Amino acid sequence: MRAPILRPAVCTIALIASLSLVALAADQPSNAEKAATVVNSLKLYEAQQQYAKIVDTELARKVLPGVSVAWVVDGQVVHTAGYGLADLDRGVAATAETIYRAGSISKLFNAVAAMQLVEQGKLDLDAPLQAALPDFQIVVPFEGRPPITTRQLLCHRSGMIREAPVGGYLDASQPSIAATVASVAPCVLVNPSNTKTRYSNVGPTLVGRAVEVLSGLPYPEYQQRHVLGPLGMTSSAWLMNDALRPRLAKGLMRVARGGHYVFETAPEFELGTIPAGNLYTTAADLARFAVFVMGGEASAQSKPPIQRATLEKMFQPQLVPDSTGFGLGFSVGKYREHKTVQHGGAVYGFSTSLVVLPEERIGVIVLSNADIAGGPVKWLSDAALDLLLKAVRGETIPIPQQPSTVSADALAEFAGDFESTSYWAHLEVVDGSLRATLSGQPLTMAHVGPLKFWADGRIMNRSVWDFERGMDGKVTGISAAGQKFMRVDPASAPRTPSFWKNLVGRYGKPFIPLVISERHGQLWATVENEYDYKLTPVSRLVYNLPPGMYADEQIVFQLDAAGKVLGLVMANQPLPRRPD
């Protein structure tokens, strides 16, 4: 079921009318210019109709229960709509005004708040963090390294731990930002400052705490007064409240249950890392933010939260020589040949995306109520960008390579087991098609070259998998997910230490368990219901986590006096062993 699309049609009509008024106000526009204005408006309408069919096709896959979208062109919101269901149980349709948890899109607003204080001379991006937070402490085991700065925190170059012991992603206790920050004191900095880009939720939270301290206002109140309010985002808040709750979508989670997954309603609690991921908002409200990002007036009642020159500095990758990477809050990348400033979000039961092409002045927001669904969310975002670039900029949409049909016998050579530094992959031929499981995540494979496939699923959208042959002509490896996979023979797997049997099991919260398993002579940890990560033993009870969400961090098992496993510590949080 899809929500009615009356609203998008109304938006298009309003756009045609507004463009006509602009043409009348100009200095004698030519008839050709007037005609082009109407043609572009009609092309937008056609793009909306095409997009509705694309969304219908995606919803039919049953990964996304519902989705809300918004499009922005040249500082104007030209399309808002909801499709599918915001609440599967009650049959509530998604709309442009449905409330979603934005996840890490929150980091963009946090960075804007920080840059307000920079403009006011209250915050120095390159001063030691303690200049803004005198009480902040963390154990730094690296001698002679410069101190952590706000700039490093905003672009993930501080070496900071990913999660805090209190208020981290695995903690449902709903502490204050101050309590979350205070809990970091006994933790150890993972990397020397400004030596490695490591994504962190603690880093932006420290910046948010600095906003509180320097402004003298609680973080949600500061944001409401100085960021959300001026932008006209009246349906957004940093903490859930009675006014927004009736419109809150019900998030759906795919939860690890010891060898398989089940679907459950997502829990509803506030993160302790509020500045990093706790924003509640709508597609329509985020469209106002996108208007501001591309230089438009998001609210007629207020001036922009920060100066344009400041905003453009935020669009530049920080502390790295590359043209892409993390700016100040924003992730800077490319879509086709166009520069993008963006951020995605993934939080209990929700997957989100906000992408702006600043030079083309085009923006797309996609919000969904499905957990770990970055693949389809990216697909819908990319489809909208393609349609907009064609409709308003006249670009030709690239024709995707068409998958080829391959016999089951020919596909069989790609089947088998493979492992990389971080993941395992199992491929098999099912009903004449190649299917893959990447560390617990199922994928469909489309053949697009002699040794090339596209992988699609909850976590991927047309992700390229390149297979390699050995000297004997047999498939020996894969380049995928940013890593190199080598074929493994389960029958030749090393013998696992007998002690590992004591470690295997489920730990932590039932809605986001950490599952320890053994596979082909390796120990694996299912992290945040997403991937199985390969563990490397440091000692009998200490294991390094590989590149991925918790790169360079460790899992430490805890025993009682009799040697029984009581639990483990991961993400700086004790996770007790579960009886199930």
Please state, in angstroms and rounded to a whole number, the distance separating the CA atoms of residues 397 and 455: 21
Inter-CA distances, 288 with 173, 230, 314, 383, 402, Å: 32, 10, 18, 21, 37
Q: Domain 500-576 falls in which CATH fold?
A: Lipocalin (2.40.128)
Q: What secondary structure does DSSP assign to 182-248, as a single string?
A: HTTTTSB-SS-TTS-----SHHHHHHHHHHHHHHTS-HHHHHIIIIITTTT-TT-BSS--TTTGGGB
Please state, in angstroms and rounded to a whole number, the distance separating the CA atoms of residues 330 and 316: 9
Per residue in 422-455, pLDDT (tens digit) is 999 999 999 999 999 999 999 999 999 999 999 9
DSSP single-letter state for residue 427: E
Q: Which amino acid is at 303?
A: K
pLDDT over threshold 80, residue 522: yes
Q: Give me the residue label for tokens 């092309």.
A: 43
Q: What is the pLDDT of residue 257?
A: 82
SS3 333: strand
Q: What is the pLDDT of residue 8?
A: 37
For the chain, state the CA radius of gyration.
25
| Domain assignments of the chain as residue spans, ordered by start | 6-93, 100-380, 408-492, 500-576
pLDDT over threshold 80, residue 148: yes
Please state, in angstroms and rounded to a whole number, the distance separating the CA atoms of residues 412 and 370: 33
408-492 matches 500-576 in fold = yes
Per residue in 46-86, pLDDT (tens digit) is 999 999 999 999 999 999 999 999 999 999 999 999 999 99
Please state, in angstroms and rounded to a whole number, the distance separating the CA atoms of residues 202 and 164: 6
Per residue in 270-324, pLDDT (tens digit) is 999 999 999 999 999 999 999 999 987 766 567 899 999 999 999 999 999 999 9
SS3 152: helix
The sheet carrying 66-73 orders its strands as 92-93, 76-87, 66-73, 362-368, 350-357, 338-347, 331-335, 325-326
For domain 100-380, the question of CATH label 3.40.710.10 is answered with yes
Q: Are 465 and 447 in contact (CB under 8 A)?
A: no
Q: What is the pLDDT of residue 11?
A: 43
- Model's pTM, two decimal places? 0.92
Q: Which of 38-42, 471-475, 565-569 has the lowest mean pLDDT?
A: 38-42
pLDDT over threshold 90, residue 169: yes
pLDDT over threshold 90, residue 347: yes
The sheet carrying 522-527 orders its strands as 505-507, 514-519, 522-527, 531-537, 542-544, 554-559, 565-570, 573-576
Per residue in 379-408, pLDDT (tens digit) is 999 999 999 999 999 999 988 889 999 999
pLDDT over threshold 80, residue 35: no
Q: What secondary structure does DSSP assign to 98-125, as a single string?
A: -BEE-GGGHHHHHHHHHHHHHHTTS--T
Q: What is the pLDDT of residue 398?
A: 87
CATH code: domain 408-492 is 2.40.128.50
Other beta carbons within 10 angstroms of residue 336's beta carbon come to 13
Those residues with Cβ within 8 angstroms of residue 49's Cβ, 6 or more apart along the chain or in another chain: none
Q: What is the pLDDT of residue 16?
A: 39
